[in-house]
């Protein structure tokens, strides 16, 4: 079977998947994620020259405030990274926001490919494979929300945990002693 010479009449599947993926919505998604990161993160410490934040682990962060664990859970459940930003956990929040962007982008890409395969009448095995891929990305998206909420909840609960955990080698070199101070109120 010979394919027509003109690309507008029909396309081979490989050329259509490579040549017809739009790039502009990807840029729009990246810009939206960048703006979301700036809104969640707030002003950077390097931009504020009037205040010097101490590096001590036991000092209270200005972002922490009275955040209750259940509120932090629901904040991060709604928008992964939000609760982490309130607890001044920038790296953890950035990881959850990055995973969110990745899973949303891959879900949108998979949905577009599924629509294309349905439109050209691809075989059912490829369509089912693409549906399973879409479902996997949606499940990953849900788990990202759940884990962000749980991490924020645990981080809020452990925020007042003392930071002076020490390790030392016991005499003889066969074991390690761990001293964890705690308070009972």
Quick: pLDDT tens for 93-117.
999 999 999 999 999 999 999 999 9
Within a domain: 108: yes
Instruction: Say whether pLDDT at 182 is over 80.
Output: no
In a domain, 49, yes or no: no
Domain assignment of residue 16, yes or no: no
Q: Is residue 86 part of a domain?
A: yes
Contact (Cβ atoms closer than 8 angstroms) between residue 154 and residue 89? no
Q: Is residue 133 part of a domain?
A: yes
Domain span holding position 121: 22-42+61-179
Is residue 89 situated within a structural domain?
yes
Residue 149, domain member (yes or no): yes
Average pLDDT over residues 17-25: 51
Alpha-carbon dihedral angle through residues 76, 80, 84, 86, given to the nearest 10 degrees: -70
**Residue 31, CA distances (Å) to 36, 44, 101, 181 in order:** 9, 19, 11, 46
Instruction: Report how many domains make up the chain.
Output: 1
The structure's pTM equals 0.56
Asked if residue 71 belongs to a domain, the reply is yes
Q: Kindly state the average pLDDT of the residues 28-52.
A: 59
Only one residue has tokens 């890409």, namely 109
**Cα dist from 73 to 58, 102, 141, 163, whole Å:** 23, 22, 16, 23
Judged by average pLDDT, the poorest of 44-48, 96-100, 155-159 is: 44-48
Q: What is the mean pLDDT of residues 66-78?
A: 92
The reported pLDDT for the residue numbered 56 is: 45
Give the residue, 169 or 148, on which the prediction is more confident.
148
Predicted confidence at residue 163, as pLDDT, reads 63
């Amino acid at each position: 079977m010979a394919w027509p010479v003109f690309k507008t009449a029909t396309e081979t599947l490989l050329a259509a998947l490579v040549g017809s993926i739009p790039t502009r919505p990807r840029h729009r998604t990246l810009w939206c994620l960048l703006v979301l990161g700036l809104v969640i993160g707030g002003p950077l410490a390097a931009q504020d020259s009037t205040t010097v934040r101490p590096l001590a682990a036991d000092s209270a962060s200005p972002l922490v405030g009275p955040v209750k664990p259940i509120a932090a859970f629901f904040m991060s459940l709604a928008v992964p990274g939000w609760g982490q930003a309130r607890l001044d956990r920038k790296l953890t929040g950035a990881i959850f926001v990055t995973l969110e962007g990745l899973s949303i982008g891959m879900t949108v890409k998979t949905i577009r490919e599924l629509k294309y395969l349905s439109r050209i009448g691809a075989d059912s095995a490829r369509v089912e494979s693409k549906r399973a891929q879409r479902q996997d990305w949606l499940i990953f998206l849900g788990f990202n929300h759940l884990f962000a909420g749980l991490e924020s909840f645990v981080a809020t609960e452990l925020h007042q945990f003392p930071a002076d955990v020490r390790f030392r080698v016991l005499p003889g070199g066969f074991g390690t002693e761990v001293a964890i101070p705690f308070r009972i109120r």
